[in-house]
Amino acid sequence: MVSSKRGRYSPEFKEAAVREVIDRSRPVADVARENGLVAQTLGNWVSAWRVDHAGEEPQLSVSERARLKELERENRELRMENEFLGKATARSGGRCNGPSDSGGRGGVPEGFPGARVELGGDGVEITLGVAG
């Protein structure tokens, strides 16, 4: 049931919650949960604060800038790796890329008749049969 009564919060409460996010660099979701708020509501307050106080946020220290630069580099590398893996998976057509990929049973060792390896959206499914 949705309440027709909207929550009213004092300016002091809003300021304290926003300061937790801004000053301590804490995630909006964590601060919202601790204060009994919906994350979207606190996110709106933080966004409004940033617009109202543009330029007032403290500048990054040298170590923070270096860390940010390192995280941005790592993010670029992971994006490129993810893109490469996505293309490799699309090219493989769901086949296993193993040594016996050329004419074998998709990388399945000998002695497992009826064995198969299938690549799916959720992962890999391997079915093995034992020679009798």
Q: Output 84 or 128, whichever has higher pLDDT.
A: 84
Above pLDDT 70, what percent of the chain? 63
pLDDT in tens, 12-41: 999 999 999 988 888 999 999 999 999 999
Residue 20: count of CB within 10 angstroms of its CB: 20
pLDDT at 63 over 50: yes
Reported confidence tier of residue 5, pLDDT bands at 50, 70, 90: low
* Nearest Cα residue to 32 out of 53, 13, 12: 13
Element (H, E) at 125: strand 124-127
pLDDT at 50 (0 to 100): 87
Task: Tell me which residue has tokens 């979207």.
Answer: 40
Q: Output 126 or 33, whichever has higher pLDDT.
A: 33
In our burial notation (b when 16+ CB lie closer than 10 A, e otherwise), range 80-118 reads eeeeeeeeeeeeeeeebeeeeeeeebbebeeeeeebebe
Report residue 34 as tokens: 């601790």
